[in-house]
Amino acid sequence: MHFEYNIEGGDFTRAGYASSQVKKLLKKQGVEMSVIKRTVVAAYEAEVNVVAHAYGGVMYVDLDDRQMRIVLQDTGPGIEDIQQAMEEGYSTASDAVREMGFGAGMGLSNMKKNAHELNIESEVGKGTRVEIIMQIA
């Protein structure tokens, strides 16, 4: 199965929609609750990063009997130093975004902790591609 969800940069009112669809899908497939929880955390953090840091993007979801593969491809500023970005507490979020409670610099570490596999590629000035792989059976 394949699904695609558009993510609008800067539109916080819709942030989390794609992840809620992922959650529904996994529930319908009868995937174990502990795996659903981990998937939801990783997907949400990746989705919000597109909203908070990029201009826009797409979440691609592929599901088969064994695994779920979630790819977030965005157009945006990209990440100069991915290793630094992964450090808990590192954030370039704007003041407005921080006021909402985002920008703790914990999103990428949440993704790392919860995804079974996490791959990040980024090109400065172009965009970022985040791949989350979850074993569901």
Ligand X SMILES: Nc1ncnc2c1ncn2[C@@H]1O[C@H](COP(=O)(O)OP(=O)(O)OP(=O)(O)O)[C@@H](O)[C@H]1O
Positions in the binding site for another protein (CB under 8 A): 12-13, 15-17, 19-20, 23, 37, 40-41, 44-45, 48, 100-102, 104, 106-107, 109-110, 113
Q: Which does 23 bind (CB under 5 to 8 A by kind): ligand X, another protein, Mg ion, none?
A: another protein
d(CA 82, CA 86): 6
Amino acid residing at 60: Y
Residue 19 interacts with which of ligand X, Mg ion, another protein, none, CB < 5 to 8 Å by class: another protein
Instruction: Please give the full DSSP string across 31-97, using - where no structure is assigned.
Output: --HHHHHHHHHHHHHHHHHHHHHSSEEEEEEEE-SSEEEEEEEEESS--S-HHHHHSTT-----HHH
Query: What does 53 interact with, of another protein, ligand X, Mg ion, none (CB < 5 to 8 A by kind)?
Result: ligand X
Q: Which of 49, 114, 122, 128: binder of Mg ion (CB under 5 A)?
A: 49
DSSP-derived letter for residue 117 is E
CB of 44 within 8 A of CB of 52?
Answer: no
| Site of interaction with ligand X (CB under 6 A) | 45, 49-50, 52-54, 74, 76-79, 85, 90-93, 102-108, 128
| Site of interaction with Mg ion (CB under 5 A) | 49, 107
